[in-house]
Chain A
Amino acid sequence: MKPGSPFGTDVRRGALDGVSIALGYLPVALAYGLLAKGVGLSLWATMGMSMAVYAGASQFLALTLLGEGAGTGSIVLLTLLLNARMTLMSAAIARRFSDRRGPMRALAAFGVTDETFAVLTLKQAALTPAYLLPLEFVPYAAWVGGSAAGYVVGDGLPASLKAGMGVALYALFIGLVVPAVRASRTASIATGLSMMLSALISRGIGKGSAIVLTALLVAGGMAAFGPQDDRAELTTSEEEAS
């Protein structure tokens, strides 16, 4: 553990950053629970899917396809395609996760999502279990709890609040990217290129593939052809206010 970040501080920061993500998950989880009930899943299956799969987009996809009478094999195959981007994100987290113990790595891998990836790779340079695990499992609790709540009590939020919470995840991404973009020209170029490319690519192909393709083209292209001397400006500063 590095000096200046004792165990308790890391846990507190991780939990707090986790709350920012959890807030964004709640309305999505409520909608998922409600839809699952509509498609005819049991409460057990609704929660079981959230607990075991823990990947929002593919869970919605599964509900939609079940509603259309699709088979298990095709849903699992589409889940593989939609979630292939997780491997890229896990690779980025794994190389910075300091703990070598097997069970710790197995747990850390389970909580990788678009959102935990974004926070983990941009907020803190050294990833200790004390920071990473609360950050990953506070949102997990919100996802599972929200799924059950959506199923049981429905989605009782007023429309305007729901709209507001629907933007929470985008606000999270923007909140992570803006400080880096402000500090680094390379980060601005990468983000800008990715936005433009994604806008073009996502017209043609599905969400998961569009993200993978955009990320590989932008990060791969800039790593291969960009200048090699500005690494220092990209590394994250050790924690602003939190």
Chain B
Amino acid sequence: MAALIIGMALVTYALRAIPFWLPLAGRSPRARRFFDLLPFAVLGALIVPGVFQATEPPAAGVAGAAAAAGLAWRGRPLIVVVLGAVAVTAAVSASF
């Protein structure tokens, strides 16, 4: 078990640490643009399809996600967006 944990930890930390020591990409405009776009390219993939599988039935999670989108659209702070979505999802989930 110790070997497994150490192996997993080393592999994962190496993946995280390498870019902090070896800059993988240059400072060209294209590289900058790639890294500016990266958060959106990653977040889209983190939200879909996961959000449709987050709760059973999916409707509760989708309602929570819609609440989050509405709160964020109105410029509410992140913590309010998260707590609002949790409350809406819990309420919808409890009503099933």
A interface residues (Cβ-Cβ under 8 A, vs B) = 16-17, 19-20, 23-24, 41-42, 45, 48-49, 52-55, 58-59, 62, 66, 72, 75-76, 79-80, 83-95, 97, 105-106, 108-110, 112, 114, 117-119, 121-123, 159-161, 163-168, 170-182, 186-187, 190-199, 202, 210-211, 214-220, 222-224, 226, 228, 231, 234-235, 240-242
Contacts and interface: CB of A to CB of B under 8 A. Distances in A.
A49 B64 contact: no
B9 A53 contact: yes
A84 B15 contact: yes
Main secondary structure, interface of A, reads helix
A112 B24 CA distance: 16
Contacts of A159: 93
Interface of B: 1-9, 11-13, 15-21, 23-25, 29-51, 54-56, 60-61, 64-65, 67-69, 71-73, 75-79, 81-91, 93-94
A75 B88 CA distance: 37
B20 to A, nearest CB: 4
B20 A118 contact: no
Contacts of B35: 91-92, 95, 219
B9 A178 contact: no
Contacts of A88: 38, 42
A53 B61 contact: no
Contacts of B73: 178, 182
Which of B3, B29, B86: most chain A Cβ within 10 A?
A: B86
B85 A92 contact: no
A194 B44 contact: yes
Given A167-B61, A211-B45, 6 more contacts: A91-B23, A167-B54, A167-B65, A170-B61, A218-B41, A231-B33
A119 B42 CA distance: 12
Contacts of B54: 163, 166-167, 170
Contact of A168 (B11, B23, B86): B86
A211 B45 CA distance: 6
B18 A175 contact: no
Main secondary structure, interface of B, reads helix
A80 B15 contact: yes
20 contacts: A53-B8, A87-B16, A87-B18, A93-B19, A95-B23, A105-B21, A118-B46, A119-B78, A167-B86, A170-B85, A171-B68, A171-B84, A173-B43, A193-B44, A196-B48, A223-B33, A228-B33, A231-B32, A234-B37, A241-B75
Contacts of A94: 19-20, 23
A23 B90 CA distance: 14
A223 B34 contact: yes
User: Would you list the 6 A-B pairs with minimal beta carbon distance, nearest first?
Assistant: A194-B44, A164-B90, A171-B85, A175-B81, A178-B72, A198-B45
